Amino acid sequence: MKNKNTNSGADTLLAEHMETDSGGMLRRHFLKASALVGGGLMLRFSWLSGLKPMDKMVNPNLTEQGSQLNGYIQITPDNIVKILCPNPEFGQNVMTSLPMIVAEELDVDWKNVVVEMGPHDNVKLGPQFTGGSNSVRMYWTPLRNAGASARQMLIEAAAKAWSVPASEITAKEGVLSHISGKTATYGEMAAAAANVAVPKDVQLKSAKDFTIVRNSKKNAEGPKIVTGKPLFGLDYWQEGMKIAMIEHPPAFGLKLKSFDASQALKMPGIVDVFSLKLYEDGYEQAGFDTRTFNDLLVVVGNSTWEVMNARKKLKTAWEPIGETKYNVVGWRGDKREVVVPAGLESTSAHLEKMAAYAKGAAKELRKDGDPETAFKNAAQVIERTYHAPFLAHNCMEPINFFAHVTDEQALLVGPLQGPGWIEPSLSKILNLPPEKIEIQMTRMGGGFGRRAYGHYMTEAALISRKVKSPVKLIYTREDDMTYGIYRPMYTATYRAALDANKNLIGFHVKGGGIPEHPIHANRFPAGAVDNYLAEGWEIPSNITIGAFRAPRSNFNAAAEQSFLDEVAEAMGKDPIDFRLELLQRAKTNPVGQNNEYDADRYAGVLELLKEKSGWGKPENSHKKRGVAAYFCHNSYAGHVVDMVIRDGEPYVEHVTSAMDCGIVVNPDAAINMVQGAVVDGIGNALYGALTHKDGAPEQSNFHNYRIIRHHEAPRNIDVHFVQNDIDPTGLGEPPFPPVFGAVANALYKATGNRKYMQPFTVEPPNTQG
């Protein structure tokens, strides 16, 4: 199959597919008990048992691998419970929340729990991936089963030791008690429990009995963070380690023609300067091998500053790449040829091209009823077009990786969201079997999707092999920001058809992007309108793109939620009431079969938002408020944003947030996550943009790429969760997209002007309003 356009090979598609939960549960338990050296219980279990069918899409081999015992709980005689966290941590707090789930069912005192980052093991652990708001959702059931099984075994051990029926023993907070008054700690029974048969079935707690889950626990790594312990990839150090940097072309569409390193090599501390190919010709890229530049010009030296200085002495010549073709094998095993166009692209030309494409043919993604006739017969048609730029992730920890590669083995240490997806590539490229490749996962200084693309681990490995030394590859902030793998540039034209009574009779969205379109055709308001059409088109580009916190949704929520506001206004309806009416329709008499969202849960978030924000209350009538709500990654989120114009710039003073993500495992951390998403959303909506001129990014560091700062963040963000007992869905991504829409709608109220192009503060705002 030929892929027309993307220079990503990028499986942002994966991020999308991972969102949608098609339901159905496999309850298979794989557990094995053994004795710990020195006494105690080791219960090994499978993180992958009980996975939902959609999760197997992430790795088709999971069904077979599900029987591997890959996680463990250790209980030592001194009553310390050690729980392993399998997934990379980048601030979503899995190192705390995942062990909380085990500890809940085990019923242990949280004070005695020690959390450890697990090793990376692609064979046994499957995809240890952080992204798609999946960690808690995917592991909820396997972790509960494991905790409950260990608890049951401890009870059985105590029953045997005390010669009493197990039914007379209770286990609570790490202590086993018999009705006679006999007690023992888990630690005291751990060794005996290792000889108890693993239970076939266990009773899980009822949600009302939770004592750890739903009770806030502090970040397990907090004490290390506030004392500056070396947790991050950039902090990793090994004796004899060299520092490497890559000088990449100054523009997309260029490659290295030649270089003169004679001056750079004379600089102090410089070990070597050379060029090498990341992927050899004909290499079949995996979905997350995305790279922007293939010919690497590498400077290796003894220290970071020496390498930085030597780079300034490099003499380089660059030349156009020309059209490039390569093969990509996607995450589902699908092969496709990617054609990357030649040329030096500019934002102004992008916008012109997008305007032209928007008028042309597009791929039909969903059609309900007869939209053509609805629009022809409409009394009023509202049409609006929205734009958003490329965005750079700008993780605070710049891209880096440590590698020590020899002919026999490879050690790699660093920040990566999906090490398991890059390891097979590395194995092929280095010609080393996976068991000779050890990847250690460090804490990540932010990810936001950027660290799903592991080209930099492969680069570090190749550099280490070349210089025969342990090496840490470091991207400077400028290298990081100008490398690509951006959030795509998007546009969408929305049309609404109203009849003479101002009823919504038709809805049409036609979205496009460079290099991929943003449309989620089966999302709201699909299902709520009789005549509905969704279309998409794409423009090829050599600017690389990748997943960015809530891919596609982060644009759709901005555009669609702005548009719904405009439609509500034209109909003379309150924006929340209008959305609730549509959701009522989607619930009672849905249009079409494939609507992704649950109209009840969606409406529940809007109702909660209405109540908590005092929406429509006279005391709030003076406020310049905007509302938006959105569904993605299996969860529902909405915000009411209160904006003022301060010193000529929009400022969000206060935000009310509502969210339905099912059971909230760690409430205080969840609030933190939502607050952070709100701040991140405001910042990107108002300031975020990565633009190009003649192929070169026009932003390179924080002086010309504006990131939201302390004084620009709201003083208050009130976060509310819908209370229900639904198994946890997603949390990291869902609260982010609707912020954009709420900001756009508040901006309209605050200024009287509707903004159609992000970032919203590029032009001076109109302060009349």
Residues 448-467 that bind other proteins (CB under 8 A): 448
Residues 464-503 that bind other proteins (CB under 8 A): 476-477
Q: What's the closest the beta carbon of residue 90 comes to other proteins, in angstroms?
A: 5
Residue 305 binds to other proteins (criterion: CB under 8 A): yes
Closer to other proteins by CB, 392 or 437: give it. Answer: 392
Cα-Cα-Cα-Cα torsion 246, 248, 250, 254, nearest 10 degrees, comes to 170
Alpha-carbon dihedral sign for residues 60, 63, 67, 72: positive
Q: Which residues contact 419 (CB under 8 A, 6 or more apart)?
A: 88, 120, 122, 128, 439, 441, 454, 457
Alpha-carbon dihedral sign for residues 52, 54, 57, 58: negative
Closer to other proteins by CB, 232 or 288: give it. Answer: 232
Q: Residue 213: which of 670, 665, 721, 730 has the closest Cα?
A: 665
- Give yes or no for a cis peptide into 88 (omega within 30° of 0): no
Binding residue for other proteins, selected from 45, 110, 232, 318, defined by CB under 8 A:
232
Residue 703 binds to other proteins (criterion: CB under 8 A): yes
Residue range at the interface with other proteins (CB under 8 A); choices 128-136, 553-561, 596-604, 705-713: 705-713
E strands, 137-292, are: 169-172, 175-178, 183-185, 242-247, 254-260, 270-277, 285-286
Binding residue for other proteins, selected from 226, 240, 281, 282, defined by CB under 8 A:
226
E strands, 30-161, are: 31-35, 41-45, 71-75, 81-85, 113-117
Contact 629, 606 (CB under 8 A): yes
Residue 711 binds to other proteins (criterion: CB under 8 A): yes
Residues 145-164 that bind other proteins (CB under 8 A): none
Question: What is the rounded distance in angstroms from the CA atom of residue 107 to the CA atom of residue 111?
Answer: 12
Question: What is the rounded distance in angstroms from the CA atom of residue 58 to the CA atom of residue 663?
Answer: 24
Closer to other proteins by CB, 229 or 617: give it. Answer: 229
Closer to other proteins by CB, 506 or 546: give it. Answer: 546
β-sheet bridge partners, residue 507: 496, 532
Closer to other proteins by CB, 400 or 493: give it. Answer: 400
Q: CA-based Rg of the chain, rounded to a whole angstrom?
A: 27
Binding residue for other proteins, selected from 71, 91, 118, 546, defined by CB under 8 A:
91
Binding residue for other proteins, selected from 90, 563, 578, 602, defined by CB under 8 A:
90
Residue 443 binds to other proteins (criterion: CB under 8 A): yes
Residues 247-276 that bind other proteins (CB under 8 A): 268
Phi, psi at 418, each rounded to 5°: -135, 70
Closer to other proteins by CB, 322 or 702: give it. Answer: 702
Residue 398 binds to other proteins (criterion: CB under 8 A): yes
Residue range at the interface with other proteins (CB under 8 A); choices 224-232, 318-326, 378-386, 594-602: 224-232
Residue 230 binds to other proteins (criterion: CB under 8 A): yes
Question: Can you read off the two tokens belonging to residue 104?
Answer: 């809940």
Residue 709 binds to other proteins (criterion: CB under 8 A): yes
Question: What is the rounded distance in angstroms from the CA atom of residue 162 to the CA atom of residue 155?
Answer: 10
Residues 658-697 that bind other proteins (CB under 8 A): 668-669, 672-673, 675-680, 683
Q: What's the closest the beta carbon of residue 689 comes to other proteins, in angstroms?
A: 16
Q: Residue 71: which of 87, 80, 84 has the closest Cα?
A: 84
Interior angle at CA 285, CA 280 and CA 288, nearest 5: 130
Question: What is the rounded distance in angstroms from the CA atom of residue 562 to the CA atom of residue 606?
Answer: 16
Contact 464, 405 (CB under 8 A): yes
Binding residue for other proteins, selected from 65, 92, 544, 751, defined by CB under 8 A:
92
Question: What is the rounded distance in angstroms from the CA atom of residue 15 to the CA atom of residue 448?
Answer: 12
Residue 445 binds to other proteins (criterion: CB under 8 A): yes
Closer to other proteins by CB, 404 or 451: give it. Answer: 451
Residue 240 binds to other proteins (criterion: CB under 8 A): no
Binding residue for other proteins, selected from 128, 394, 691, 758, defined by CB under 8 A:
394
Binding residue for other proteins, selected from 73, 85, 190, 231, defined by CB under 8 A:
231
Residue range at the interface with other proteins (CB under 8 A); choices 9-17, 314-322, 390-398, 656-664: 390-398
Residue 124 CB: number of other CB atoms within 10 A? 17
Closer to other proteins by CB, 395 or 609: give it. Answer: 395
Closer to other proteins by CB, 395 or 505: give it. Answer: 395
Q: What's the closest the beta carbon of residue 395 comes to other proteins, in angstroms?
A: 6
Residue 1 binds to other proteins (criterion: CB under 8 A): no
Binding residue for other proteins, selected from 235, 438, 598, 727, defined by CB under 8 A:
235
Closer to other proteins by CB, 262 or 716: give it. Answer: 716
Residue 222 binds to other proteins (criterion: CB under 8 A): yes
Question: What is the rounded distance in angstroms from the CA atom of residue 81 to the CA atom of residue 174?
Answer: 9
Q: State the amino acid at position 276 in one-letter form.
A: L
Residue range at the interface with other proteins (CB under 8 A); choices 47-55, 340-348, 574-582, 699-707: 699-707
| DSSP-derived secondary structure for 287-333 | TT---S--EEEEEEESSHHHHHHHHTT-EEEEEE---EEEEEE-TTS
Closer to other proteins by CB, 443 or 579: give it. Answer: 443
Contact 50, 38 (CB under 8 A): no
Question: What is the rounded distance in angstroms from the CA atom of residue 522 to the CA atom of residue 519?
Answer: 9
Query: How many residues of this chain bind other proteins (CB under 8 A)?
Result: 66
Closer to other proteins by CB, 376 or 709: give it. Answer: 709
Residue 303 binds to other proteins (criterion: CB under 8 A): yes
Contact 656, 635 (CB under 8 A): no
Q: Quick one: DSSP state of residue 658?
A: E
Q: Residue 73: which of 109, 33, 110, 39 has the closest Cα?
A: 33
Binding residue for other proteins, selected from 218, 363, 428, 646, defined by CB under 8 A:
218
Closer to other proteins by CB, 504 or 717: give it. Answer: 717
Closer to other proteins by CB, 461 or 677: give it. Answer: 677
Residue 133 binds to other proteins (criterion: CB under 8 A): no
From residue 401, how far is each of 239, 248, 411, 647 by CA, in Å?
Answer: 16, 17, 11, 43
Residue 223 binds to other proteins (criterion: CB under 8 A): yes
Residue range at the interface with other proteins (CB under 8 A); choices 49-57, 311-319, 437-445, 755-763: 437-445
Residues forming the site for other proteins (CB under 8 A): 90-93, 216, 218-219, 221-223, 225-232, 234-235, 237, 243, 268, 303-306, 308-309, 394-398, 443-448, 476-477, 668-669, 672-673, 675-680, 683, 701-703, 707-711, 713-717
